[in-house]
Chains A and B, each alone.
Chain A
Amino acid sequence: QVQLVESGGGVVQPGRSLRLSCAASGFTFSSHGIHWVRQAPGKGLEWVAVIWYDERNKYYADSVKGRFTISRDTSKNTVYLQMDRLIPEDTAVYYCARDLYSTGWYCDNWGQGTRVTVSP
């Protein structure tokens, strides 16, 4: 069965960096886009970034563009989210999600999430 497992969350000071990982299994990893979606405490869902099946096409929300970088390693079936220059507004549970298709349309399978807290 499709499984996505996030890791790498934690507490970090503003201005510092953190790298999240999303380990995928149970499907053909190279055939699907992968998204990161976050949810601040008590708030709704906010899309963060997507990387297409081809590793070349990457798109970001305006709120993270220039600070976050998404990448994928097909040899490890893993997607990463490098988060630099973190700010308190980045505090959230971060979910990775598989796209229904090879690019980026809809999130049909989700991980359990990893919590990121940005605090002095």
Chain B
Amino acid sequence: DIQLTQSPSFLSASVGDRVTITCRASQGIGNSLAWYQQKPGKAPNLLIYDASTLQSGVPSRFSGSGSGTEFTLAISSLQPEDFATYYCQQLHSYRLTFGGGTKVEIK
């Protein structure tokens, strides 16, 4: 099974900061990776798929990059509504796997 490791697991940042989150796969997955945002008590929300394609309706300050085993989610200028937990997700052998999550909190 392919494992996804996110880093950091916790991030403290200020409004306006540029933030990056990394997701590493235990083996190559091409560009079959998505990023989700989840706020407390709410369902996740798809932000990015195919590693770098912005989902419809998602603000352009979110971007994704990478391929193979290393992927990055970037938020260019953190907004108050962006404080949440972020998960990466991959598809391999018809099964999905999620990373452990990165919690972004206000500094």
Number of A-B contacts (CB under 8 A): 62
B-contact 0/1 string along A46-61, CB 8 Å cutoff:
1100100000010111
* Contact A105-B91, Cβ < 8 Å, known A44-B100, A100-B49: yes
**When the two chains form the complex, which single residue of A50, A62, A100, A112 contacts B96, counting CB atoms closer than 8 Å?**
A50
Chain A residues bordering chain B, tally (CB within 8 A): 25
The majority secondary structure among interface residues of chain B is: strand
Determine if B16 is an interface residue (Cβ-Cβ < 8 Å). Answer: no
B residues near A (Cβ < 8 Å) are 1, 32, 34, 36, 38, 43-46, 49, 55, 87, 89, 91, 94-101
A residues near B (Cβ < 8 Å) are 35, 37, 44-47, 50, 57, 59-62, 95, 97, 100, 103-108, 110-113
